Structure 1
Amino acid sequence: MTDPGQLWDHPNPHILRTRVTARDIDGLNHTNNAVYVKWCEQVAWSHSVALGLDLQRYRQLDRAMAITHSEYHYLQASREGEEVTIGTWIMDWDRKLSMTRRFQVIRVDDGATLLRASMRFTCIELSTGKPRRLPREFIAGYGPAVLSEQSQMAGK
């Protein structure tokens, strides 16, 4: 078993751990690509909740962070029974409208990185679906979690 703490692309990820189940496997006998997308969404939500910005808070503020672009690089396959750790970081934001998250999926047994991904989010008004400035509650919640340029360089 490898300690993923030394394998992350960047320091201090917010992480979730899961085990690949039979339901995750596709016709090629490996984890379906859509499952990785689901894991990335789950760890992003978990991170938001940990920062005090859950769905209820989004609704109260009539704001949400909506995915506007995503990119996935599938590097290796995972199979049923394998344990994986999914990490996320908020890499940058403009403090006005948008932010970028990065993701990394590591297989616990051998420390192999299975996936690297990124998602660009834009703040929207829930009632209209239109882009809106980040409310101060989002700046206060997400702001401390944004990696500084210095810590990004240390992770490379």
Structure 2
Amino acid sequence: MDGWDHAHPFLHAVRVQPAHIDVLAHANNIAYIGWCQDAAWRHSAALGLAPDAYRALDRAMVVRKARYEYLLAAVAGDELEVGTWLTGSGGRLQMTRHFQVRRGADGATLFRGDWELVCIMISNGRPVRMPQAFMESYLPAVIDTSGAVAPG
């Protein structure tokens, strides 16, 4: 797996910019969350569900709970890779997504995170079952912890 937590991550490249740096001279915690969000949207779009599809379906997968672990600092100029995977599904209502941020220069893992996602109806914000389009796009991409693609 070449240092990744799971096989076959969806990758999003990031270069740490001066605007990401805080008073401690390293990337601010909020920057990592933004990079995760960007990676999640790109992964979703690659699976066929970009924001316009969410709006057309009046459905969205939203973060219900987030957990982040900051391991090492990133500094301005660092080239990073944000890896993400769908790592679980609770049927038709929820999913989990895992993130790992690695520094390109040495492969060190700087950050890990997990999101518990729930499907909502955008127009009223209430939890609903995933529409068929979500099931068809997301569920085949869910991996098990060994990295094998879940049957689907």
State the distance in 1 between where 2:20 and 2:62 align.
25
SS of residue in 1 equivalent to 2:126: coil
Is 1:88 aligned with 2:113?
no
Q: TM-score, normalised by structure 1?
A: 0.92
State the distance in 1 between where 2:96 and 2:73 align.
25
The Cα of 1:150 is off from its aligned counterpart by 4.5
Which letter does structure 1 place at the counterpart of 2:36? C
Counterpart of 1:63?
59
Is 1:121 aligned with 2:102?
no
Counterpart of 2:135?
139
Counterpart of 2:42?
46
Cα pair distance change 1:35/1:12, threshold 3 Å: same
State the distance in 2 between where 1:43 and 1:114 align.
16
* Native 8 Å contact 1:95 1:139 kept in 2: no
* Structure that is richer in helix per residue: 1
Which letter does structure 2 place at the counterpart of 1:70? A
Long gaps (5+) in structure 1: none
Q: Give CA deviations for 1:81-119 in whole Å, capped at 9, x if unaligned.
A: 010000000000022100000000000001110001000
Q: Give CA deviations for 1:27-59 in whole Å, capped at 9, x if unaligned.
A: 000000000000000000000000110111111
Q: Which has the higher contact order (CA 8 A, sep 6+)?
A: 1
Q: Give CA deviations for 1:69-88 in whole Å, capped at 9, x if unaligned.
A: 00100000000001000000
State the distance in 2 between where 1:117 and 1:128 align.
28
Counterpart of 2:32?
36
State the distance in 1 between where 2:105 and 2:77 align.
11
Moved over 3 A (4+): none
The Cα of 1:16 is off from its aligned counterpart by 0.4
In the alignment of these two chains, the number of paired residues is 148
Counterpart of 2:97?
101
Fraction of identical pairs, as percent: 44
The Cα of 1:148 is off from its aligned counterpart by 3.1
Counterpart of 1:11?
7
State the distance in 2 between where 1:38 and 1:74 align.
14
SS of residue in 2 equivalent to 1:102: strand
Which letter does structure 2 place at the counterpart of 1:59? R
